[in-house]
Structure 1
């Protein structure tokens, strides 16, 4: 039995002990949104900046655990869509995204041998958002509290409570890392975030009765729920739609994405080729 255990340890040691390195660094790049206000899957005209910090730990030559905290911004507007129907709807939004994530990377190659490697990653994240838009006077208006689609109103129990501003997303994507020096790693990463909410943009289902919304939330809620009367000279101003008329679509949940350039500093006894052999020998030291 001891021989069997020893043999298993021997063949698994390069994977368990060869790269016990820590990495700390930054990611900086762009954020995007996909939802009811984006006519395309992603509208790059509304690309916004993002930045984050990351901590990683190599469990072996191919598996890396990761954690991070990021900040980005998302936005969209019907006014820039090609569809006449969407232009007539005339909705818009902006939101900051704060995200904390945990996950893992699978490195395709041994970066210490090749000097580079592509990788894929996945995980889970907790994020917060807060959609807002500007009114006709340029004032910043928080949208959630207005119940623009009847969320939280007793007359519309099927719409449920007001949506939570803290949600879960499932980060996944791919990247490429280059070992610039023994300590510094440069890379690029594309990361998608499907969410479990359809309200990143405060748009999901249908309009509610104008008079009910007016009585429950006031004139500002009515003004922000339907903005087709603000379209200007390009098309005739519309009137508030009937109760139940389509405002958005709940068929698909909203997404956001964080992509950028990564700069990581590696430290620990496992750094470099010498570190690998040192860790390997430690695994057999009884």
Structure 2
């Protein structure tokens, strides 16, 4: 839970800043799609597999810099059976998971832009930050859904954590509409501090590592659902990257509360 404590410290700090200068406060909502790059989708960087929605509270420090607290929700999935790669189809893995992300992000506008002022009505921008995401990969086999964390599909000693640190980064554009209203669109990737967003990371295990209990047959099936005994013990189950990545893309609208008591441009 160390990352939760770190994130809580950021939130407390951010809330204090808002109290000092609440006149620069900005609220926004966003909707769009979510994607995933990992062991079941290794190279399609713009592939959308589900929807996303989010909201934020942001403080504009000046026309160029802003810091905000963001919440994003999305769904991602992948299925080897739909892959163009014949080896993936033979492997026959699948997963889906919801993502609940809370992050602290910093924006940098390239032009002198602010929804309540500034000299430009339009600007490209970049952002980065730090956050945490909750996830829980599931798979469907024979019309039954399984929560993969609890089946030790790669011979783990127990269920892995369903939360991890994440680093968001991306680009976007902002457009001032009227008065304090703004329109924005962005694409942002997140490097997760885990390789188990999809429940796939290392190698196929030796079945001897599993307990001989009522779940043994399910563990074997979920670990290697191929139709040709694809996953011999020790064979690489996923790719060699140690981090999964997910992506949110969409369009949103914002409203900025402006007061001359705080600052002017």
TM range (shorter): 0.7 to 0.9
* Pairs within 5 Å for 1:134-283: 134-136=140-142, 138-152=143-157, 162-213=159-210, 215=212, 217-229=215-227, 238-239=228-229, 241-269=231-259, 275=260, 279-280=262-263
- Kept after mapping to 1: 8 A contact 2:151/2:159: no
Give the match for residue 132 of structure 2.
Answer: 126
- Per the TM alignment, residue 117 of structure 1 is displaced from its structure 2 partner at its CA by 1.1
Give the match for residue 16 of structure 1.
Answer: none
Q: Greater Rg, structure 1 or structure 2?
A: 1
User: Any idea what the Cα deviations from partners look like across 1:105-124, whole Å, max 9, x if unmatched?
Assistant: 01111122111111111100
Gaps of 5+ in 2: 1-21
Distance, in Å, in 1 between the alignment partners of 2:42 and 2:66 is 37
- Per the TM alignment, residue 280 of structure 1 is displaced from its structure 2 partner at its CA by 4.8
* Secondary structure of 1:223 counterpart: helix
Distance, in Å, in 1 between the alignment partners of 2:123 and 2:58 is 15
Q: TM-score of the superposition, structure 2-length normalised? A: 0.84
Distance, in Å, in 2 between the alignment partners of 1:171 and 1:114 is 26
* Secondary structure of 1:145 counterpart: helix
Distance, in Å, in 2 between the alignment partners of 1:35 and 1:195 is 10
Distance, in Å, in 1 between the alignment partners of 2:82 and 2:45 is 13
Give the match for residue 26 of structure 1.
Answer: 29
User: Any idea what the Cα deviations from partners look like across 1:43-74, whole Å, max 9, x if unmatched?
Assistant: 62x52100011111111121111111111001
Q: TM-score of the superposition, structure 1-length normalised? A: 0.78
Distance, in Å, in 1 between the alignment partners of 2:90 and 2:131 is 35
User: Any idea what the Cα deviations from partners look like across 1:196-228, whole Å, max 9, x if unmatched?
Assistant: 111110001111123443626421111111111
User: Any idea what the Cα deviations from partners look like across 1:140-186, whole Å, max 9, x if unmatched?
Assistant: 1100100000111xxxxxxxx54211101100111111010111100
- Per the TM alignment, residue 279 of structure 1 is displaced from its structure 2 partner at its CA by 4.3
| TM-align CA RMSD | 2.0
Structure 1 or 2: larger helix share?
A: 1
* Pairs within 5 Å for 1:30-49: 30-42=33-45, 44=47, 46-49=48-51
User: Any idea what the Cα deviations from partners look like across 1:26-53, whole Å, max 9, x if unmatched?
Assistant: 0111100000001423362x52100011
Distance, in Å, in 2 between the alignment partners of 1:90 and 1:280 is 58
Distance, in Å, in 1 between the alignment partners of 2:234 and 2:263 is 66
- Kept after mapping to 2: 8 A contact 1:93/1:133: yes
Cα 1:182–1:246 change in 2 (3 A) is same
* Secondary structure of 1:114 counterpart: coil
Distance, in Å, in 2 between the alignment partners of 1:203 and 1:43 is 21
